[in-house]
Amino acid sequence: MHFKDYLSKLKGTNDLLDKVANLEHTEKLTSREKFEYPSHVSPAELKRGLTSGKFLKGSFRASRDNYLEGEVLADGQDQPIFIQGRNHLNRAVNEDLVAVEMLPQSEWSYPSSLVLEDRAQADDENTSKDDLKEASEARHKELARPSGRVVGIVKRNWRQYCGMLQQSTLRETNRHLFVPAERRIPKIRIETRQAEGSLWKAHCGSD
């Protein structure tokens, strides 16, 4: 008998069942769900890249305003490396030690909180579409910051987090959403059989 089947026949074992790998769910995942993020480079490739200078190592700091943005304070760099987007963050969590690959200057970006002050108005009859495009590109180059993408996690710096459990509206599902109180931490999809009728306790770590 599979250990999971054995536990399911006992009473009061929901906490143990939550710790058993959900092999059935993993097998049902489509290829798109399995590979939502780019694969991290192998440990050997990571070591070679850090040694050769292809990759840069530093501490990741998530933005307080947008958890899909952050920066890496890389060793030997004069300014932080800007990271933007789910794929470029590649599962990095605030304060993780990560390896970063620089993007070409043509792909550099800037924080979404910055507003283009000189953006031309589309209804301006005296401004052509070419002028609008040229002004936008010039402003983008002015605001763009050295950008990169996370290719590997050198060291995780996870801790306990405060938050609330947002239960799914679907019945008979074990998949729910954990919403951290700290805005630098993204929402996390978890599986638990203890959501309904149970008191959830969130633990706080030192900030």
Q: pLDDT tens for residues 111-157?
A: 887 543 444 444 444 555 555 455 556 666 778 899 999 999 999 98
Find all residues with CB under 8 Å of 24, minimum gap 6, and list them. none
Sign of the Cα pseudo-torsion (179, 185, 191, 194, in order): negative
Q: Exposure of 151 by Cβ count < 10 A (0-12 exposed, 13-18 middle, 19+ buried)? A: buried
Closest C-alpha to 198, from 18, 22, 20: 18
Q: For residue 174, name the pLDDT band (cuts at 50, 70, 90).
A: confident
Q: For residue 110, name the pLDDT band (cuts at 50, 70, 90).
A: confident
Structural domain of residue 53, as residue ranges? 43-155
Does 135 lie in the same domain as 58?
A: yes
Phi and psi (nearest 5°) for 62?
-75, 150
Does 170 lie in the same domain as 139?
A: no
CA distances from 168 to 4, 105, 158, 171, 202 (A): 23, 42, 25, 8, 18
Number of separate domains in the chain:
3
Q: Is the pLDDT of residue 196 over 70?
A: no
Of 74-78, 126-130, 182-186, the range with the lowest mean pLDDT is 126-130
Q: What is the rounded distance in angstroms from the CA atom of residue 74 to the CA atom of residue 97?
A: 10
Q: For residue 9, name the pLDDT band (cuts at 50, 70, 90).
A: confident
Predicted pLDDT of residue 207: 39
Sign of the Cα pseudo-torsion (80, 85, 88, 92, in order): positive
Predicted pLDDT of residue 206: 41
Q: What is the rounded distance in angstroms from the CA atom of residue 106 to the CA atom of residue 125?
A: 31
Does 26 lie in the same domain as 80?
A: no
Which residue, 117, 133, 155, sits at the end of a domain?
A: 155
In the predicted model, what is the mean pLDDT of residues 153-171?
85
Q: For residue 57, name the pLDDT band (cuts at 50, 70, 90).
A: very high
Does 98 lie in the same domain as 138?
A: yes
Q: What is the rounded distance in angstroms from the CA atom of residue 82 to the CA atom of residue 62?
A: 10
Give the distance, in angstroms, between the CA of residue 174 and the centroid of all CA atoms in the same chain.
22
Q: Answer left, alpha or beta for residue 160, where phi above 0 means left and psi between -120 and 50 means alpha.
A: beta
User: Which one has a higher pLDDT value, 113 or 49?
Assistant: 49
Q: What is the rounded distance in angstroms from the CA atom of residue 16 to the CA atom of residue 139?
A: 55
Does 117 lie in the same domain as 53?
A: yes
In the predicted model, what is the mean pLDDT of residues 150-175?
84
Does 32 lie in the same domain as 76?
A: no
Query: Domain containing 51 — which CATH number?
Result: 2.40.50.690
Give the distance, in angstroms, between the CA of residue 85 and the centroid of all CA atoms in the same chain.
8
Predicted pLDDT of residue 162: 87
Q: For residue 189, name the pLDDT band (cuts at 50, 70, 90).
A: confident
pTM of the model: 0.66
Phi and psi (nearest 5°) for 175?
-100, 120
Of 33-37, 41-45, 52-56, 86-90, the range with the lowest mean pLDDT is 33-37
Question: Are the CB atoms for 93 and 185 separated by under 8 Å?
Answer: yes
Does 83 lie in the same domain as 128?
A: yes
Predicted pLDDT of residue 49: 95
Question: Are the CB atoms for 195 and 167 separated by under 8 Å?
Answer: yes
Does 87 lie in the same domain as 12?
A: no
User: Which one has a higher pLDDT value, 58 or 119?
Assistant: 58
